[in-house]
């Protein structure tokens, strides 16, 4: 009886060892996984479309904002005056056009009744002035629309839902068109870039499920493979351009290259504080482990 029990225990231990060994082999050799992964996010540098003094800043650093919230305001008085000036130019152009059209119509009636009343050159000049006045009115209206657009864009709003970051501007600073004033982290755009060895790529498919295990707290997130980079920078080239740059682990030995794979996160908990740059481990389970 004791011998049979010992045999059973030994057999069970051997089966368990085989199962564990198979699981480890499947995990480390067959399933794509990597500890070299980073949490990334889209960050927008907020630059005004007009230049002027900053008269109000409606946010503080690291504040949560919604799409459309006012971030800061550039001196609106100057742009309001520009709109009023452009409106006055439009009205002036309208009166100029009316006068030119009346003169052209009068000359046309005169020459129709009596061809000797005025010269053909005079009638042609009247029509030309009416055409020029019409073009001037269109130009004035275009400038009025531009002035109104500048006034509207003197109030700078958040283009996304996110968090204000790197806010160093203060009221009274001069904001230059196209120059960054602050940045907004798009909290709806967090994703993970995982660097897999090229030997693992055949098992990675678009849409594959992925497990993202954050180093911070060990939180496990779910995601899907959104795509992989089809080109990486050559480390020996002088300039890599816009291609992803992947630093080799060792320069003195030939190793499998690591390819960036983009993972889209799904259902991120509302109370989870993701930060771009966080480290993570990404596992893409093989079909046998799903």
Q: Which residue has the tokens 């009166």?
A: 95
Please tell me whether residues 89 and 105 are part of one structural domain.
yes
Identify the pLDDT of residue 28.
54
Identify the pLDDT of residue 58.
95
Domain harbouring 266, CATH code:
2.40.30.170
Please tell me whether residues 130 and 159 are part of one structural domain.
no
Does the residue 109 lie in any domain? yes
Does the residue 116 lie in any domain? yes
Identify the pLDDT of residue 65.
94
Q: How far apart are CA 14 and CA 90, in angstroms?
A: 92
Identify the pLDDT of residue 26.
55
The CA-atom distances, in angstroms, between 105 and each of 65, 123, 166 are: 59, 9, 63
Q: Which regions in the chain score pLDDT beneath 50?
A: 288-290
Range of the domain at 136: 76-153
43: helix, strand or coil: strand
């Amino acid at each position: 009886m004791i011998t049979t029990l010992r045999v059973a225990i030994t057999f069970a231990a051997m089966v368990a060892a085989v199962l564990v060994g198979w699981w480890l082999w499947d995990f480390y050799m067959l399933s794509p996984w990597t500890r070299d992964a980073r949490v990334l996010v889209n960050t927008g540098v907020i630059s005004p479309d007009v230049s002027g003094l900053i008269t109000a800043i409606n946010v503080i650093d690291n504040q949560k904002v919604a799409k459309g919230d006012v971030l800061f305001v550039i001196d609106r008085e100057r742009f309001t005056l520009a709109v009023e000036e452009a409106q006055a130019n439009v009205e002036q152009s309208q009166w100029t056009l009316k006068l030119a059209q009346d003169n052209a119509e009068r000359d046309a009636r005169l020459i129709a009744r009596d061809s000797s009343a005025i010269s053909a050159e005079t009638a042609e000049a009247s029509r030309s002035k009416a055409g020029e006045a019409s073009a001037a009115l269109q130009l004035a209206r275009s400038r009025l629309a531009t002035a109104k657009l500048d006034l509207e864009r003197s109030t700078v709003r958040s283009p996304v839902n996110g968090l204000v970051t790197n806010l160093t501007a203060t009221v009274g600073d001069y904001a230059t068109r196209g120059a960054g004033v602050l940045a907004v982290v798009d909290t709806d755009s967090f994703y993970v870039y995982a660097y897999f060895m090229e030997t693992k790529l055949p098992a990675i498919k678009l849409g594959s499920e992925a497990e993202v295990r954050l180093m911070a707290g060990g939180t496990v997130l779910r995601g899907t493979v959104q795509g992989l980079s089809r080109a990486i920078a050559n480390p020996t080239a002088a300039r890599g351009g816009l291609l992803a740059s992947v630093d080799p682990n060792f320069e003195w030995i030939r190793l499998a290259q690591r390819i960036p794979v983009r993972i889209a996160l799904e259902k991120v908990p509302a109370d989870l504080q993701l930060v771009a740059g966080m480290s993570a481990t990404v596992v893409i389970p093989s079909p046998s482990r799903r």
